[in-house]
Amino acid sequence: MDDESPARYLPGTGTLLGQAHRWLLLGRPLEAQVVAQLWSQLDAPLDAVATLTRHLGSGAAFAVVDTETGDQIVHGPVAVATAGEGLLVTLAAVTGEPTVPVVGGAVSAGAVHLPVVRRRRLLIEGVPEAILASEPGAPPTEPRGLPLASLAAAGDHTATRPGTHDGAPAAAGMTMGGATRVRPQPTGAHPLQQSTGETVLAARCVNSHLTPPEQPTCRSCGAEVPPQTPLRVPRPPLGQLMLPDGVRVLLDRSVVLGRRPEAIPGGETWPHLVELPADRTHLSRQHLLVELDEWRILARDLGSRSGSALRAATGEAQRMLPHQTYVVSPGSVLVLADDFPIRVVVELSGDSA
């Protein structure tokens, strides 16, 4: 199947929405106004998921697939499988071959075969396209593979430990030529420096910590949250990732973990890039993505060959399916390749006033 091949669907009792490279298949028909809302949210899949669960409840069956990035969010009895050079998305108990071509829109369907878009490869592999389009004269980013110790010797303050850079806390426990390192942010103004100030509705606990307004107790300290009118404020850091060797990564933006991590196409322009030990060859180059959505911490295995697992604070563990998004609670542990645990901890981030 080449890049020009259309998607093909099997007529059925579900609903299929398609727009460019984003597709949504859900297990039942919906009112026209809800379909219109979902259509407008295809470029914001988590908003679409919120709409679906609000209208269909926790028993909703749906799959959201991005054929350009490979991202998938699957809930309920829906199967997503590789079929030839594309993906076959099928509702439970549906049989038959999708044969009716569709380039987008909304149709009644029970299954769909989606061609996978081949992204244009860059001449320099691993450089985001936005970097190639940046203005001349922009400050250079850290060269790939340059040890932090070399930066420190050159007087680059982003390599200090512990400390700050660009007004943000540096990752505590950062190693200088050790097993794990967090690539620093570029110094000074940079056209790709993405703001981490997403706003959220928040309340303050009796100790003045910002916390989700719907919770009766503070997410940071457990204190009471008195009745109040929520305010919209810049989102504070949601915690830290604590790696086995003591490295801590602040959750103020997305985090990509792997032996050779790079920014995810279509994702945050400048996430934290955490290089895991090079001698852990069972860890993938691009292993795990951690993202923030309002007050939620989300994790996704990036199709690693040895997989990932999520162990809740209660001790309950589940295997993470590749490219599917999981909500991670503070106190949970993300386990990469069965033997590399990463604990998610809440920190008091200095947001009291």
DSSP 3-state of 54 = helix
What is the structure's pLDDT at 84?
82
DSSP 3-state of 281 = coil
Q: How far is CA 279 from CA 59, 175, 180, 276, 284, in A?
A: 43, 15, 11, 9, 11
Residue 310, Cβ neighbours under 10 Å: how many? 20
What is the structure's pLDDT at 162?
30
Beta strand extents in 39-121 (DSSP E only): 62-66, 72-75, 78-83, 86-91, 100-102, 105-115
What is the structure's pLDDT at 180?
66
Cβ neighbours of residue 123 closer than 8 Å, sequence gap 6 or more = none
What is the structure's pLDDT at 347?
60
Domain limits, the chain: 7-115, 149-183+237-345, 199-234
What is the structure's pLDDT at 348?
52
> Check: CATH 3.40.190.10 for 149-183+237-345?
no
| Pairing relationship of beta strands 72-75 and 78-83 according to DSSP bridges | unpaired
Identify the DSSP state of 251: -
The span from the CA of 161 to the CA of 251, in Å, is 18
What is the structure's pLDDT at 76?
80
> E strand or H helix at 103, and its extent?
none
What backbone phi and psi angles, to 5 degrees, belong to 64? -110, 125
What is the structure's pLDDT at 175?
34
Q: Which two tokens stand for residue 173?
A: 């426990």
> E strand or H helix at 131, and its extent?
helix 129-132
pLDDT in tens, the chain (353 residues): 344 578 999 999 999 999 888 999 999 888 888 999 999 888 888 778 888 877 887 677 888 888 887 778 888 888 888 888 888 999 988 988 999 999 889 999 999 999 876 543 333 333 344 434 444 444 444 333 333 232 223 333 222 233 333 333 333 333 333 456 666 544 433 333 334 458 899 999 999 999 999 999 998 888 999 999 999 988 888 999 999 888 888 898 899 999 989 888 877 767 888 889 888 889 999 999 999 999 999 999 999 999 999 998 888 889 999 999 999 988 899 999 998 999 998 865 445 44
